[in-house]
């Protein structure tokens, strides 16, 4: 009976301890990542370099101890009582890896590429927030002339042009018109060789994605090419193969942190045509942009172009971070840096208390950070281990 009771006690305690540990470690780790983002915004706002430290793994061990005592009264032959006791000791080992050196340069200082933008654009993210955070500038082509409009409030005229352009893209997305994806086309090679390809040759080329077309003595080998990214107000698949190839050649004029934008007349939203490239930022530049908007170069209101359709939201700031010398009340997530406290504003610009823009913007920032940082478990630096 006693053995069964002890076994039952151990069986009850173990799952409870494990469940609590997993949930608490997950909650703590997520909060650390969020605080690191706020802390680095505060560092950038004070013109100090950013720095991230990752926690690649936590190894927790549990020591379960069960004790049982039998007691009886003096001069009595019977057992008068049974005392059962249990204790749990938790001993986690936490690895901390600073992101530095080549990894810091490659992951945080190098501009993000088009694949990250495409991935996030297909995650049901508000493209207005995505464009504001990720894009450094828009390079507009008009009658052979190219003009750069920076996403930087220190240049008011350029900033207004930039905002109007991305507000138009956001309006097209809101209307279900905007197409974001790669340019796919067929690359073809022709031959007039009289001999027909062997079955073995056909099979080998088919395995590599090539297709053979034989028309008399003319033999054509073709392969579908996955080209660069395109943001357009039409489906590129409706264009001819040659037009798609030319579009891809145009997109390849710049590195893969540039994305071609082709908003054409004659299609929905073409009243405001845009022939341009958007230039993506590094993650460090995203943090700097948010920090500058707090004080040095605050963003200002820009209304959409009259030719643009409806948009879901157009707040002044892309991400509003508040600062105070006093600790905020009723705020769960905040950091203290030097003598000030920093936290995420609840209602963006305090004009729309029910909006989720600020929360969605911070969530997007968190996701961009996760997509940017390297696999720290293989970092070429010695981790700092803390045994609690």
Cα–Cα dist 306/208, whole Å: 50
pLDDT given for residue 24 in this prediction: 74
Looking at residues 250-260, what average pLDDT do you find? 95
What's the pLDDT at 108? 87
DSSP per residue, 302-323 = -PPPTTS---S---S-SS-EEE
For residue 163, which of 270, 318, 35, 302 has the smallest C-alpha distance? Answer: 302
CA distance 231 to 267: 13
Residue 388 in any domain: the answer is no
- Residue-range definition of the domain harbouring residue 82: 2-98
Q: Are residues 206 and 279 in the same domain?
A: yes
Residue 232, phi then psi, degrees to nearest 5: -145, 165
Number of Cβ within a 10 Å radius of residue 377: 11
Residues 22 and 48 in one domain: yes
Report CA-CA distances (Å) from 63 to 10, 14, 20, 69, 129: 11, 10, 15, 20, 48
Whether 263 is in a domain gets the answer yes
β-strand pairing of 218-232 with 258-263? parallel
Residue 377 lies in a domain: no
Smallest CA-to-CA distance from 237 within 176, 187, 185, 169 is with 185
172 and 67 housed in the same domain: no
Query: In angstroms, what is the C-alpha Rg of the chain?
Result: 30
Report the 10 Å Cβ neighbour count for 202. 14
Domain boundary among 98, 116, 149: 98
Query: Greater confidence, 162 or 143?
Result: 162
Domain count, the chain: 2
Q: Which band of pLDDT confidence, cut at 50, 70 and 90, is reported for residue 172?
A: very high
Residue 288: pLDDT over 60:
yes
Which pLDDT band, with edges at 50, 70 and 90, does 275 fall under?
very high
Average pLDDT over residues 169-195: 82
State pLDDT tens for residues 39-96: 999 999 999 998 887 666 666 666 555 555 555 555 555 555 555 555 555 666 666 6
Q: How far is CA 232 from CA 262, 273, 353, in A?
A: 5, 10, 33
* Residue 379 pLDDT > 50: no
Q: Residue 215 pLDDT more than 70?
A: no
Backbone angles phi, psi at 224, to 5 degrees: -75, 125
Lowest mean pLDDT among 131-145, 188-202, 285-299, 374-388: 374-388
**Are 23 and 157 members of one domain?**
no
DSSP 196: P
Using alpha carbons, select from 272, 271, 244 the residue that is nearest to residue 260: 244
Residue at 379 is within a domain: no
Number of other CB atoms surrounding residue 9 within 10 Å: 16
Residues 159 and 243 in one domain: yes
Residue 385, in any domain of the structure:
no
Tell me if 182 sits within 8 A of 260, measured CB to CB.
no
Helix%, strand%, coil% for the chain, nearest 5: 35, 30, 35
pLDDT for res 100: 72
The answer to whether 311 and 174 have CB atoms below 8 angstroms apart is yes
* Shared domain check, 145 and 203: yes
Locate tokens 């209304």: which residue?
303
Q: Does 161 lie in the same domain as 278? A: yes
The verdict on 191 and 290 lying in the same domain is yes
What is the distance between the alpha carbons of residues 46 and 39, in angstroms, rounded to a whole number? 11
Cβ 30 vs Cβ 55: under 8 Å: no
Is residue 242 in some structural domain? yes
Residues 187 and 290 in one domain: yes
Residues 6+ apart with CB under 8 A from 126: 170, 312, 313, 357, 360
Name the residue among 269, 229, 280 with its Cα closest to residue 250.
Answer: 229
Residue 64 lies in a domain: yes
Which of 24-33, 258-267, 313-322 comes out lowest in average pLDDT?
A: 24-33
The rounded distance, in Å, linking the Cα atoms of 35 and 336 is: 10
Same domain, 294 and 347: yes
> Which residue among 75, 98, 121 closes a domain?
98
Instruction: Based on the fold, state whether residues 39 and 183 are members of the same structural domain.
Output: no
- With bands split at pLDDT 50, 70 and 90, how would you rate the model's confidence at 119? very high
Q: Do residues 150 and 194 share a domain?
A: yes
Q: For residue range 293-342, list pLDDT tens digits in order.
A: 998 899 999 999 999 999 988 999 999 999 999 999 989 899 999 999 99
381 close to 93: Cβ distance less than 8 angstroms: no
Is residue 255 assigned to a domain? yes
- Orientation of helix 283-294 relative to helix 127-134, angle to 10°: 100
Confidence label for 102 from pLDDT (cuts 50, 70 and 90): confident
Q: Write down the pLDDT at residue 371.
A: 86
- CB of 184 within 8 A of CB of 227? yes
pLDDT for residue 377: 44
Residue 174 pLDDT exceeds 90: yes
Q: Which of 98, 118, 137 is the last residue of a domain?
A: 98
Q: For residue 105, what pLDDT is reported?
A: 78
For residue 143, what pLDDT band results from cuts at 50, 70 and 90?
confident
């Amino acid at each position: 009976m006693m053995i069964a009771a002890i076994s039952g006690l151990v069986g009850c305690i173990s799952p409870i301890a494990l469940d609590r540990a997993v949930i608490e470690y997950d909650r703590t780790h997520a909060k650390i990542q969020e605080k690191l983002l706020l802390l680095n915004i505060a560092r950038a706002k004070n013109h100090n370099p950013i720095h991230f430290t990752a926690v690649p793994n936590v190894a927790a061990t549990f020591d379960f101890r069960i004790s049982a005592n039998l007691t009886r009264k003096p001069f009595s032959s019977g057992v008068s009582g049974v005392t059962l006791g249990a204790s749990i000791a938790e001993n986690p080992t936490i690895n901390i890896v600073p992101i530095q050196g080549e990894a810091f340069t490659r992951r945080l200082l190098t501009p993000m590429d088009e694949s990250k933008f495409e991935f996030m654009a297909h995650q049901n993210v508000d493209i207005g927030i995505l464009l504001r955070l990720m894009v450094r500038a828009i390079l507009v082509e008009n009658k052979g002339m190219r003009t750069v409009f920076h996403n930087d409030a220190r240049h008011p005229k350029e900033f207004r042009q930039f905002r109007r352009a991305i507000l138009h893209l956001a309006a097209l997305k809101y209307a279900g018109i905007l197409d974001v994806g790669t340019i796919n086309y067929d690359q073809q090679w022709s031959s007039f060789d009289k001999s027909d390809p062997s079955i073995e040759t056909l099979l080998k080329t088919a395995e590599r994605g090539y297709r053979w077309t034989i028309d008399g003595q003319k033999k054509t080998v073709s392969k579908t090419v996955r080209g660069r990214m395109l943001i357009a107000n039409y489906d590129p698949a409706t264009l001819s193969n040659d037009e798609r190839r030319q579009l891809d050649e145009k997109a390849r004029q710049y590195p893969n942190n540039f994305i071609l934008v082709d908003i054409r007349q004659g299609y929905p939203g073409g009243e405001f045509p845009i022939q341009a490239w958007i230039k993506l930022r590094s993650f460090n530049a995203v943090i700097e942009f948010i920090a500058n908007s707090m004080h040095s170069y605050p963003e200002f209101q820009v209304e959409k172009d009259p030719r643009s359709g409806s948009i879901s939201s157009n707040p002044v700031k892309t991400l509003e971070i508040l600062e105070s010398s006093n600790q905020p009340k009723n705020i769960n997530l905040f950091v203290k840096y030097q003598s000030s406290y920093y936290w995420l504003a609840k209602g963006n610009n305090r004009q729309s208390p029910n909006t989720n823009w600020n929360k969605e913007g911070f969530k997007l920032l968190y996701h961009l950070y996760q997509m940017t940082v390297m696999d720290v478990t293989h970092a070429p630096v010695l981790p700092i281990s803390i045994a609690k």
